[in-house]
Amino acid sequence: MRKLETKTIVVASHNAGKIAEIADLIGPFGFSAKSAKDLGFVEPEEAGTTFEQNAAIKALASAKASGLPALSDDSGLVIDALGGAPGVYTANWAEREDGSRDFQMAMAKVDKALQDKGASEPDARRAHFVSVLCLAWPDGHTEFFRGEVEGTIIWPPRGTSGFGYDPIFQPKGHATSFGEMSAEEKHGWKPGDVQALSHRARAFKIFVETCLDA
């Protein structure tokens, strides 16, 4: 594993919610970071069929454009009753014809798909969130860190915190959705903690333990 020896990195994302979450997680480590969106980089086409492939596409594009290490995240919602959908196409389920994204629409689409399968009870609505972080260097070297959190799809949506599908995902062992949790509750982790809750925090914890002298 290659250690990250600089505190200046690029967050390889154009997603405001994701950028904010990664900024919260890297903040305690003193990083100087700008996002691909801030730097005006073109958003690459995510043509991969796995979270790892898409994370690498984004991180390598930003690393090569900036000449700095870049950290990306590719994440998605994997629902058992839907054969793993939406999976790597999680963001696509929110896309409108004009190219904008509507996650209220996407959450309704998920519930309808489950109802069409007859999946109305919690045991039939099991799901997990996946986050794969990719740290890429300008020379093309990459490292991957995967985090997952189990839970249940609930309906109707609850809460207005977080982003994406958070209001319909209730993590296992909790009585509230991600959409009802503060950022601190959702991540469930800070430097020195043993446990982490969210998929992104779990992936980030592995990143810290592997690539940082923290």
Return the pLDDT at 141.
Answer: 97
Average pLDDT over every residue of 137-163:
96
pTM: 0.92
Classify residue 167 as left (phi > 0), alpha (psi -120 to 50) or beta: alpha
Average pLDDT over every residue of 94-118:
96
Domains within the chain, CATH numbers bracketed? 8-211 (3.90.950.10)
- Band of residue 162 on the pLDDT scale cut at 50, 70, 90: confident
Give me the chain's average pLDDT, please: 93
Average pLDDT over every residue of 5-18:
91
Q: Which residues are annotated as a binding site for Mg(2+)?
A: 45, 74
Given the residues 24, 73, 74, 80, select the one marked as catalytic: 74
Q: Could you identify the residue written with the tokens 């305690």?
A: 28
Return the pLDDT at 31.
Answer: 86
With 80 as the cut, is the pLDDT of residue 198 above it? yes
Q: Report whether 124 contacts 74 (CB < 8 A).
A: no
How many residues belong to the chain? 214
Q: Is 73 annotated in the active site? A: no
Rounded distance, CA 100 to CA 59, Å?
A: 23
Q: Which residues are annotated as a binding site for substrate?
A: 13-18, 75, 163-166, 186, 199-200
Average pLDDT over every residue of 8-37:
89
